[in-house]
Amino acid sequence: MTTIDRAIESALTWPLRWLARKAIGFTTENVDWYARNGYPQLYSAFGGSEPSYSGKSVTHETALTNSVVWVCTRILSEALAMLPLMLYRRDGEAKFRADTHSLYRILHDAPNDEMSSVEFRETMMVHAVTRGNAYSRIVRQPSGRVVALMPPFHPGSVQVGRNKRGAIQYKVALADGKEQVYPASEIFHIRGLGLDGLVGYSVITQAKNSIGNAMSADQYAGEFYANGGRVPYILKHPGNFRDDDDAKEFRKNWDASYGSSNTFHRAPILPGGLEYQQIGMSAEDAQFLETRQFNVPEICRWFRIPPHMASDLSKATFSNIEEQSLEFVIYTLTPWLRKWESTIWRSLLGRTEQGRYFAEFNLSALLRGNAKDRGEYYSKLIQAGMMKPNEGRSKENMNPAEGGDKLYIQGAMVPIDKAGQGGKGNGIQGAKT
């Protein structure tokens, strides 16, 4: 499409978008209704995306009816939501929980009176993963201190742009049809992958062709089984029906005998020289099962989710699942965690606080191995004087033990030139606290 073509298209669709938003009262939040109800052209004219190659109109709502899209969205949103999110205070090289800071409770416990921290982060991540952006209004005291993060705005109701001075602003369509403009300092905004620094791209929009293929395969499966597993067919009559009433009567009798779910498997009786002729491909000829199987890793690629996490174990082995799970944490989840941490630092901490405080997710729960590996890990750190016994007990949800708040090191190590001489004081002895 050339620049002139885009300009013409914009000139033609702008009046329709204005009509939808102003005269009729529609917003980008509810314009998806058109695609869901069979009007993809109006959906496109009002700001939606074109149908996929398969002909399916893929919206953010319909995409979530696909099992792979649903599970990938759940994996990312629930994984981030379940991780402890802490606010820390720097003190030289050390860090301590800043549990007396008002932002600690907002991040760790509840950002507002309606949602817990887990619910808030899960909802925000669903928006960020599927639509590329998540928005929440920041409530501050007159002093500038953050006191709440309100329940997230629906991403379809928010438009991001710049004012006349070039500053970022957020225009939000409210439930009563009015619009409210917020400066960037009042919006907590998690962006996905994007190019302009203002908004992120929607993975649903970008992956609409892959998702559309999967949705078409699901529809084919439903229609195939609704038809009793029979492929499309025709009945060839050697002659002609006497009149339309005769043809209608034949169809009525045929449907009554073989057209319902209870009669699909009856052996048909073809009177008068009728011939049964298949006109469509069988599920095997259409490679139906292979197509549905391929759709799982295809959609997982868009979300960067290992297929085994979406219950596709066709390529999984005992040796690679653990590595793939680790790759999910490192290459898929961690980038989102860093987005959250940096956005908290930039948007919720004051300039004077940014050098002393920072937010951080605790990933240890996801990186824990089996019991044997964890035991060896703790043992090595404790014997090397890098971890206190009670720190290891805490990670295993065990109460602290007496004497476990000291750092210990092995006492049998001696310098090489003192080996075999024996005696006290030759090696590293005792406990270091």
- Indicate the domain borders of the chain: 1-48, 233-279, 369-432
User: Using an 8 Å Cβ cutoff, are 197 and 147 in contact?
Assistant: no
What are the C-alpha distances in Å from 199 to residues 93, 135, 186?
A: 35, 11, 16
CA distance 388 to 403: 10
**The pLDDT of residue 287:** 53
Provide the token pair at 219: 């529809």
What are the C-alpha distances in Å from 13 to residues 41, 124, 160, 224?
A: 11, 31, 20, 39
Count of CB atoms situated within 10 Å of the CB of 339: 17
What is the residue-level pLDDT of the chain in tens, covering all 433 positions? 444 444 444 444 445 554 544 444 444 445 555 544 545 445 555 545 556 666 677 888 888 888 899 999 999 999 999 999 999 999 888 889 999 999 999 999 999 999 999 999 999 999 999 999 999 999 999 988 999 999 999 998 899 999 999 999 999 988 787 889 999 999 999 999 988 889 999 998 888 888 888 877 766 666 666 665 566 666 666 667 677 777 787 777 766 666 655 555 566 656 666 766 665 555 454 455 566 677 888 899 999 999 888 877 777 666 677 778 888 888 999 999 999 999 999 999 999 999 999 999 988 767 666 677 777 778 888 888 888 888 888 777 688 888 888 888 877 666 667 666 655 544 444 444 4
**The pLDDT of residue 24:** 45
Percent helix, percent strand, percent coil in the chain, to nearest 5: 45, 15, 40
Closest CA to 415 of 430, 401, 429, 396: 429
CA distance 239 to 371: 77
CA geometry: angle 350, 352, 356, nearest 5 deg: 100
Count of CB atoms situated within 10 Å of the CB of 351: 7
**The pLDDT of residue 251:** 74
CA 124 to chain CA centroid, Å, is: 10
**The pLDDT of residue 285:** 47
